[in-house]
Homo-oligomer: A and B are copies of this chain.
Amino acid sequence: MNETLHSISAIERDTGLSREVLRKWELRYGFPQPVRAAQGERLYPDEQLQRLRLIRRLIDQGRRPGSLLRLDSAALEALLAELATAAPATLPPAVGDEVLALLTAHDAAGLTVLLNRTLTRCGLQRFVTDFIAPLNVLIGEAWLSGAIEVAEEHLYTEQLQNVLRAALSGPALGAGSPRVLLTTFPDELHSLGLLMAEALLSTEGAACTSLGTQTPVEDIIRLASSGRVDIVALSFSGAYPLRRAVEGIQRLRTALPEAVALWCGGAGLQGRRPEIEGVRQLDTIADCLTALADWRARAAED
Interface residues of A (CB under 8 A from B): 106, 108-109, 112, 116, 149-151, 154-155, 157-158, 161-163, 165-166, 168-169, 175, 183, 189, 207, 209-212, 214-216, 219-220, 222-223, 226, 228
Contact = CB atoms under 8 A, between A and B. Distances in A.
Given A150-B216, A150-B219, A166-B169, 15 more contacts: A109-B175, A109-B207, A116-B169, A149-B219, A151-B215, A151-B219, A151-B220, A154-B183, A154-B211, A154-B214, A154-B215, A161-B161, A162-B168, A163-B169, A166-B166
Contacts of A189: 189
Interface of A is mostly: helix
A155 B211 contact: yes
Q: Give the most central of A151, A157, A214: most B CB within 10 Å.
A: A151
A226 B149 CA distance: 14
B169 A162 contact: yes
Contacts of A226: 106
| Chain copies in complex | 2
Contacts of A162: 165, 168-169
Contact of A209 (B155, B207, B222): B155
20 contacts: A106-B209, A106-B223, A106-B226, A108-B209, A116-B169, A149-B222, A150-B215, A150-B216, A151-B211, A151-B223, A154-B211, A154-B215, A158-B210, A158-B211, A158-B212, A161-B161, A161-B212, A162-B165, A166-B166, A189-B189
A168 to B, nearest CB: 6
Contacts of A223: 106, 151
Contacts of A207: 109
Contact of A112 (B106, B112, B169, B214): B169
Contacts of A210: 158
A155 B194 CA distance: 13
Contacts of A150: 215-216, 219
Nearest 4 A-B pairs (CB), nearest first? A151-B219, A166-B169, A154-B211, A165-B165
A19 to B, nearest CB: 9
Nearest to A149: B219
B154 A212 contact: yes
A180 B1 CA distance: 47
